A = this chain, B = another copy of it.
Amino acid sequence: MTKTLPVIQPNQRPAGQPPIFDKIGIVGLGLIGGSIALRARELWPSSLVIAVDQKDVLEAAMRLHAIDVAADDLVVLAEADLVVLAAPVRQNIELLAELDDNVRQPAIITDTGSTKRDVVAAAAQLPPRFTFIGGHPLAGAAQGGLERARPDLFEGRPWILTTKASDHSTPLDKLSAFVRGLGAEPRVMEAAAHDRLLAYLSHLPQLTASALMHVVGDAVGQDGLSLAGRGLADTTRLAASPDDIWKDIAATNRDEIGPALDALIEVLRALRADLAEGDRLGEVFTDARRWRERLKKQQP
């Protein structure tokens, strides 16, 4: 059942850049989908931003002037020439199967999920009028939600596009121009390389931060936490993350996250065995300090 909400007239909006896509469909208006919508409306006033989500989210998005057309049904994407799936990973995979019935013209399909191999594999079943290119903007925050969306979320951040290294197609050019327009820096790599890299850059730190906060909180309690300093606060900032998104990430990248966890557990066990001597501690700290200096230099 379609419940199309009123269309906001775009003719009041200021002139912007020439459009890359005429009708931009965004499925899922959280932090990422909402931020794409906000920036796209600023940048390309003659493009229509069409959003699909639950009705309460859409109403909030209307109040934020983030979208032009809103519906809780994919049928509203019939004429979209770009569809961005911005729901959690496994929901995006389910949504792929529904596109053939709803998107009626040739379109570029992309997603914003944190793992890529499963969605790329599922996209192989799409009919030939669609071109799928996976996407992952590296611009998350520990806490998501439309209320934290902002048009400059992607400014200067990498946006990984997963396709074959040999891809020099027009759809890749258009999608690259789109994410560049949003302020991001497109980086092309294959899905498998993405999933391995992100297992270390994002998934392992997230699991570690949550495990650490869980262990420390349970051990010291509320009173103990009142004595905590900035060190614990920084190290556990990611522990504010929601578990629903992370269940999807863990499940769809478990073969890469598993060995990453093994490597960390191995180092922690070695440190534990060597607390009195500190030889391994010296090696680990020295290496870590070196990497940390390099990481710091690269932070915006």
From residue A297, how far is it (CB to closest CB) to chain B in Å? 9
Q: Are A202 and B232 in contact (CB under 8 A)?
A: yes
Main secondary structure of the interface of A (DSSP, over half): helix
Complex Cα distance A214/B277, Å?
Answer: 19
Please tell me which one of the listed residues B217, B278, B292, B295 contacts residue A250 in the complex, with CB atoms under 8 A apart. B278
- Binding-face segment, A30-38, A40-48, A101-109, A221-229: A221-229
Please tell me which one of the listed residues B138, B228, B258, B278 contacts residue A272 in the complex, with CB atoms under 8 A apart. B258
Q: Does A173 contact B (CB under 8 A)?
A: no
Q: Are A234 and B235 in contact (CB under 8 A)?
A: yes
Complex Cα distance A202/B211, Å?
Answer: 15
From residue A91, how far is it (CB to closest CB) to chain B in Å? 14
Q: Does A207 contact B (CB under 8 A)?
A: yes
Q: Are A291 and B225 in contact (CB under 8 A)?
A: yes
* Copies of this polypeptide in the complex: 2
Complex Cα distance A6/B228, Å?
Answer: 40
Complex interface: chain B residues within 8 A of A241 (CB): 285, 289
Q: Are B214 and A235 in contact (CB under 8 A)?
A: no
Complex interface: chain B residues within 8 A of A233 (CB): 295-296, 299
Q: Are A229 and B281 in contact (CB under 8 A)?
A: no
Query: Chain B CB within 10 Å — which of A215, A239, A262, A295 has the most?
Result: A215
Q: Are B211 and A271 in contact (CB under 8 A)?
A: yes
From residue A1, how far is it (CB to closest CB) to chain B in Å? 31
Please tell me which one of the listed residues B187, B238, B261, B298 contacts residue A228 in the complex, with CB atoms under 8 A apart. B298
Q: How many residues of A contact B (CB 8 A)?
A: 90
Complex interface: chain B residues within 8 A of A258 (CB): 272, 275
Given A205-B216, A216-B205, A238-B231; A225-B295 close (CB under 8 Å) = yes
Q: Are B265 and A269 in contact (CB under 8 A)?
A: yes
Given A272-B262, A278-B250, A293-B240; A231-B213 close (CB under 8 Å) = no
Given A261-B271, A295-B233; A227-B138 close (CB under 8 Å) = yes
From residue A217, how far is it (CB to closest CB) to chain B in Å? 3
Complex interface: chain B residues within 8 A of A55 (CB): none
A-B contact pairs, 25 of them (CB 8 A): A138-B229, A141-B230, A201-B227, A204-B215, A205-B232, A205-B236, A210-B285, A211-B267, A211-B271, A212-B264, A214-B291, A216-B291, A222-B294, A228-B299, A231-B238, A236-B292, A236-B295, A240-B292, A243-B278, A243-B282, A247-B281, A251-B275, A251-B277, A257-B272, A261-B271
In the A-B complex, the 10 residue pairs with the closest CB atoms: A217-B291, A243-B285, A247-B278, A254-B275, A213-B288, A210-B288, A239-B288, A239-B292, A211-B267, A214-B288
